[in-house]
Amino acid sequence: MSVQTLYTAATGMEAMETKLDVIANNLANINTTAFKKGRANFEDLFYRQEVLPGAEDQSGGLTATGVAVGLGTQVESIQTDFQQGAFLDTGNPLDVAIVGDGFFQVQDTDGQTVYTRAGNFSINANGQLVVSSASVGRLLQGGDITFPSGAQQISISAEGRVQYMIDGSTDPQDAGQLELTRFINPEGLEKLGQNLFRETMASGSPETSNPGQDGVGTVQSGMLEASNVNPVGELIDLITTQRSFELNSQVVQAGDQILQLVANLRRY
């Protein structure tokens, strides 16, 4: 029995180690723009059924319960929490936060369409709106947004209409229309890093609309969405995870001591 104790407690330690990895990643990205925290879920493993519930006793009666010994735990899934993060006022008109549901469409280096909620954009040398990155110039897709040389006083409305002014003109010029994409199951998106997600069979097909239409959120210029990591909650989780790991390690020690005791019985 003590041998099984070692294996069962080991599954608990392994599960807590995975949860610790999730917490570490959440805390590491506490200042990452539009980061969505992860949550580790667990499930119990198989049971050794020594007596099944409803078994017939010697007198023909049925038992109300049985004897089932659990064999530990494992990680069931790591879910992404897409709860809205707080808004940071930057004053930069090219910083755009999504208020509600939706993602920006971005063209990756291999031509694939990927998705992000991080709206820290810049204008490249061709006047195109791109994700602000020093290593990769990913174009913002949808709406064909470009700016001519000399464009100034850029503004983006809540509905995603992008305008700018040119010297000598009193009327704003249209640069294009921001579009947002939503998924029926955003938790099914594949995380790629660099604030990017990719469509999968689990996420469902992308549904693209203008901000404020067909269930997608609106946008807020001059703002960025902050990480939705709650540092206090993560620290509490960190403490409970550490204690759970320690408790499982103590079970391993107790099982090892019992095995030593059984092995020494022959001396008496």
For residue 266, name the pLDDT band (cuts at 50, 70, 90).
low
Over residues 179-202, the mean pLDDT reads 95
Of the given ranges (23-32, 130-139, 170-179), which has the lowest mean pLDDT? 130-139
| Predicted pLDDT of residue 29 | 96
pLDDT at 203: 95
pLDDT class of 27 with cuts at 50, 70, 90: very high
Tokens 């519930």 appear where?
Answer: 53
8-state DSSP, 101: S
Distance separating alpha carbons of residues 122 and 56, to the nearest angstrom: 74
Instruction: Give residue 247's pLDDT.
Output: 94
pLDDT band at 2; cut points 50, 70, 90 = low
Q: Which residues contact 262 (CB under 8 A, 6 or more apart)?
A: 2
Burial bucket for residue 14 (CB in 10 Å: 0-12, 13-18, 19+): middle
Q: What is the 3-state secondary structure (H, E, C) of 104-136?
A: EEEECCCCCEEEECCCEEEECCCCEEEECCCCC
pLDDT of 58 > 80? The answer is no
Q: With 70 as the cut, is the pLDDT of residue 143 above it?
A: no
Q: Which of these ranges, 17-21, 126-130, 164-168, 243-247, has the smallest mean pLDDT?
A: 164-168
Over residues 62-67, the mean pLDDT reads: 82
Query: In the predicted model, is pLDDT for residue 268 greater than 60?
Result: no
Q: Is the pLDDT of residue 93 over 60?
A: yes
**Mean of the per-residue pLDDT values of the chain:** 90
Mean pLDDT for the stretch of residues 191-209: 94
Q: What angle do CA 196, 34, 158 make, to 5 degrees?
A: 105
What average pLDDT does this structure show over 137-166? 87
How much is the pLDDT for 118?
Answer: 94
CA–CA dist 62, 66 (Å, integer): 10
- Please give the pLDDT value at position 267: 63
